Amino acid sequence: MDNTCPEGTLRKALIGDVPKIHELINGYAAKGEMLARSRNELYEGIRDFFVLERDGSVVGCCALHINWEDLAEVRSLAVQLDTRHKGMGSLLVNACLNEARQLGIHRVYALTYRATFFEKLGFSRISKDILPQKVWVDCLKCPKFPNCDEDAVLAEVT
């Protein structure tokens, strides 16, 4: 699925994209803005990722991680700092929502420090307590665990 737009080319990630995805995600993780991901995790989950490519270089990424038959997470949304606020994050999240729709997944959530961004895309803030325990596996790796200060947001996908 290649989708060319003014911001670049939106496509599913390839194995060769992992080093740049790793750099993008862990750049934000170093600032405490998202959970770090190892290259191993990225290789194992490469099928979850979309990337936005511009001039032959990956400038953004986002993943749709399936948790259960009716629940998936949008995660690891990162765009290159010099390309922020140009609609790339929205394109990436919408690609994940469209994939969820195609797969028949009706609820998509995110844990985020940017809840307002997600609300503009149709997500609503929810209590983290309504998410099943299974979604907290990655939280054990977080340096902020168990004192999570992220907001939970949810979109109903139809």
* Interstrand relation of 71-79 and 107-112 (parallel, antiparallel or unpaired): parallel
CATH of the domain at 16: 3.40.630.30
Torsion of CA 120, 102, 107, 42, to 10 degrees: -80
pTM for this entry: 0.88
* Beta strands per DSSP E along the chain: 2-5, 8-12, 49-54, 57-68, 71-79, 107-112, 124-126, 151-156
Alpha-carbon distance 141 to 86, whole Å? 31
What is the pLDDT tens value at each position of the chain, 158 positions in all?
556 566 689 999 999 999 999 999 999 999 988 989 999 999 999 999 999 999 899 999 999 999 989 999 999 999 997 766 668 999 999 999 999 999 999 999 999 999 999 999 999 999 888 887 656 566 556 565 556 678 899 999 98
Q: Report how many domains make up the chain.
A: 1
Answer for the pair 60, 39: CB distance below 8 angstroms, yes or no. no
Domain that holds residue 65: 2-156
